[in-house]
Structure formats: structure tokens, C-alpha cells
Amino acid sequence: MSNNYTKEDSGYTMTTVAEEAARCLLCHDAPCTKACPAGTDPARFIRSVRFRNIKGAAETIRENNALGAICARVCPTEKYCELACSRSGIDVPIDIGGIQRYVTDFEQQAGMKILEKGKSNGLKIAIVGSGPAGLQSATTLLEKGYAVDIYEKNTKPGGYLTYGIPEYRLPQNIVDYEIKRITDLGATLHLNTAIGSDITMDQLKADYDSVILAVGASEAKMLPMFDDQANVETAVDFLARVKDAKGEVTEPDNVVVVGGGDVAMDVSTTLKRLGVKHVTDMVYEEFAEFRASKKELAGTQKAGVTIVDGYVPESMTGNEVTFKHRKIDAEMKIKADKVILAIGQQVNTDGLGITTKRGEVPFIGYQTQDPKVYVTGDIAHGDKTVVWAVRKGKEVAEEIDKTLMGGRQND
């Protein structure tokens, strides 16, 4: 069973990637490139593939996106580059994510080292959180000549790359490889170290020239009716547990999932891949207003999950949960061996000296009221995706550099 959980779909071969790249129209002022939040420049790397320069393609991706191999796999491309693709005017968009995966796999197999550390400028930055935003800001800062320490409260780095996104979509060895690239570049990781408790913010501010908070929304939301219920687990706890065990876990036969976003889709599909017989996903939204991406939803449906739309949980007694329809007079009772809650994640700012509203700091940009402290990633304004975390990671590093170095080149 775990085999199915750890198995990633196969990617392109040299021949099939060339065929896909040949479909690309090689647009002028390419819409795909303009639509990539992280500036990965798909039009340029696809053109390199088209002209058989895979190494050049890898350079384009890597220099623009420190997590290129991860974005290749988890980007909701349908909302970004592929949504803008001119080829849609003919048939279907170019499979930009697939091409990017081919190129970054090649980069890994060829052992290419593309990123270079900048000449030291003597300045030191602390980054709190080793998720994608923390990792990208570390990379950009290292390239500019800063020394970087990353503090992570968990035992493994990567944030939701490691503890959230399931193995079949994002193999852990890819995450490890991307992180190693960044530690090789010079980032120092301090694991099992929570800022705000193990080390105070004041201490960090005293020791570093700037501090970046990239703490993400690392805690699950709960509903009071499920508090203190046995057999209830949160989505992120569940996903982290399964990923950590590489799918070697035992789950009961009948599981109900509550939630309709991508996280709920990941939970439901993971359950199916683990061999759970009956997986029922109860979704607040109706299909027309679904939040999950089409790709994720399709994957979930293909996996054989029963999806019921428009229902809200009302109460739980014993192992029976009662749901009510949001709009019509309808009620459903389900007896389940287990309930998994995928109703969202929230930020924990304890001891960090910032406040957030609905998962974000209440301002646009990166610098907080304390000029030494910056935010980035999910807690900064903007989309809550990996590729946006990369963008915000690049931007926060640029902003720090402007503040500390006044935009001067360090050479």
C-alpha cells in the first residue's frame, strides 16, 4: 500500500519533452513568463529545451527559483503560467510544470551546481522558519554575500514541503536535495529551535543585522465540537505523520474528511493511496464554488473518494457526525472510524512580536514596525502557495539588501 503512496507519476523522456516543447509558440513578451509569480521565466527555459540546451534551461530555472524542482511538481500552474499560455488559443496550454520537472531532474542527475555564493559583506541575517519562503530568502541573501542562519522548531527542515505535501506529489528526496543545495551554498540550519521560547526575539535582534519571520501557518484550525473527541485528527498532523512514516501506517476502513480545499484533497487521496476502503469528503462549498484546484480535485475523484458538497458539520456523538446542508433542508449522519479535519491552518505568533489577521500581517510589504524585523511567506500579503513563497522570499531579501546596503553592489 505504501508503495502507492510513495510512487510519483513518471515524467517526460528526452523525446517526449522535445515534443511538448515543440508545441510552444515561443511567444514574444511571453504571457507565461509574465504570469509566473516567482519569475522563473518559463518561456526562456522552454526555448532552451526546444533548442536542446537543457543545461541552459536548468540555469534559467535555478537562478530564478531556488525551489525550481519543487515548484515543477506542486505549482498550481492552471492559476499562473498555464492560465496565461497563448497555446490555449489553439488547444491546451503547454505543460510547463512537466517541462520544468524534466529540466530540474536533469540538473539533479547531472549534478549541476548553478548557484554561487556572493562575496561576504560581513552582514548576518536570521531566518525563522525553514519553509519555502525561508529557504528562498536564504538563497537570495547568500547570493548577495550575507551570512544566513535558519532557525526551525521542527526536527526536519522544509515546512509544509516536508510535513504537508504528500510524497506521491512531492518526493521527500527532492525536498532534501533542494535544501542541501541551499546548505551547500552556506546556509546554517538550526533545527529543533523554536524562536520565542528556545531563543527570544530580543536575542536574535541583538545577534543579527536583520531577522526574517517566515513561520507560515503551521498550526491546524479546530472546531469546538471536535475538541476532546477521540478518533479526530487534523489534516496537517495526519499528513505529517504519514509522510514521516513513508506511508507505513495503518488506518481504519471508514474515514470522513471535513474540508474542500487542496489540503482536504491531499488527505482524501492519501487515504485512498494507503488503501482505506471508504473515504468520504464532506465539503462546505458547493461544486460551483469549490476552492481546490481542478488538478487536485480530478486526482481525488480519480482515486475513488466520495465527495459530498454543500454540507457543514453540526455535532459529533460517539463516532457519529451530523452534517447539515448549508442551503437546503437536508441532514446527513455518518458513522466513521475516524474524522480528519482539513478546515484550514493558522499562524502562531507567540513570542514573535507581530500580530496577524486571517493568517496575514495587517500590511502590504515585508518590513514590520520594528525596522530590524521582516515577514515573508504565507504570513505576508499575497497568495498562499509555494511559488508565492519563493517570490516573497526573493522580494524580502531585496528589500533587506536595499535597507542595509542601500542597493549598493557588493563586489
Partner 1 sequence: MINKDLGIDFLGVHFENPFCLSSSPVDNCYEMCAKAFDEGWGGVVFKTIGPEHFKIDEVSPRFDELTKEGTPFVGFKNMEQIAEHPLQENLDDLTKLKKNYPNKIVIASIMGTNEDDWVELARLVTEAGADMIEMNLSCPQMTSHAMGSDVGTNPALVKKYCAAVKRGSDLPMMAKMTPNITDMVPAAKAAMDGGADGIATINTVKSVANLDLDKKVALPIVNGKSSISGFSGKAVKPIALRFIQQLRVAAGMEQLPISGIGGIETWEDAVEFILLGSTTLQVTTAVMQYGYRIVEDMKNGLMHYMEEQGVDHLSDLVGIANKNILPAEDLDRDYKVYPKIDWDKCIGCGRCFISCFDGAHQAITWDEKTRRPSVDYSKCVGCQLCNLVCPVGAISTGKIEMKPGRQGNVEDIDIESVRLTH
**Residues in touch with ligand SF4 (CB under 6 A):** 24-27, 30-32, 42-43, 46, 85-87, 94, 96
29 contact, one of ligand FAD, partner 1, ligand SF4, none, CB 5-8 Å limit per kind: partner 1
Contacts of 408 (CB under 8 A, 6+ apart): none
When asked if residue 373 is in the footprint of ligand FAD (CB under 6 A), the reply is: no
Residues 243, 294: Cα–Cα separation, whole Å:
23
Report what 43 binds from partner 1, ligand FAD, ligand SF4, none; CB cut-off 5-8 Å by kind.
ligand SF4
Q: From the list ligand FAD, partner 1, ligand SF4, none, pick the one residue 387 interacts with, judged by a Cβ distance below 5 to 8 Å according to partner type.
A: ligand FAD
What are the helix and strand counts (H, E) for the chain? 16, 15
What is the CB-side half-sphere exposure of residue 151 using CA atoms within 13 A?
21
128 binds, among partner 1, ligand FAD, ligand SF4, none (CB under 5 to 8 A by kind): ligand FAD
Q: Are 157 and 133 in contact (CB under 8 A)?
A: no
CA-wise closest residue to 70 among 178, 183, 166: 178
329 Rama class: left (phi>0) / alpha (psi -120 to 50) / beta? beta
Sheet containing strand 331-335, edge to edge, reads 311-317, 320-325, 331-335
Give me the residues paired with residue 333 across strands.
322
CB 181 within 8 A of CB 70: no
Q: Per-residue x/- marks for ligand FAD, 132-161, CB under 6 A? A: xxx----------------xxxx----xx-
110 binds partner 1 (CB under 8 A): no
For position 411 contacting partner 1 by CB under 8 A, the verdict is no
Give the shortest CB-17-to-ligand SF4 separation in angstroms.
13
Are 58 and 114 in contact by the 8 Å Cβ rule? The answer is yes
Number of residues that bind ligand FAD (CB under 6 A): 38
Kindly tell me which of 33 and 385 has the beta carbon lying closer to ligand FAD. Answer: 385
Of residues 51 and 363, the one with the C-beta less far from partner 1: 51
For the CB of residue 141, give the shortest distance to ligand FAD in the complex, in Å.
Answer: 15
Closest CA to 47 of 62, 64, 32: 32
Whether the CB-CB separation of 332 and 368 falls below 8 Å is answered with no
Q: Which of 2, 4, 11, 18 binds partner 1 (CB under 8 A)?
A: 18
Is 218 a residue that touches ligand FAD (CB under 6 A)? yes
**Residue from 371, 341, 381 nearest 261 by CA:** 341
| Min CB(202)–ligand FAD separation in Å | 14
DSSP of 307-318, one letter per residue?
EEESEEEEEEET
Least gap, CB of 28 to ligand FAD (angstroms): 28
Stretch 188-207: interaction string toward ligand FAD, x if CB under 6 A: ------xxx-----------
- Of residues 37-66, those binding ligand FAD (CB under 6 A): none
What does 233 bind: partner 1, ligand FAD, ligand SF4, none (CB cut-off 5 to 8 Å by kind)? none
Q: What are the residues binding partner 1 (CB under 8 A)?
A: 15-16, 18-22, 25-29, 31, 50, 86-87, 89-90
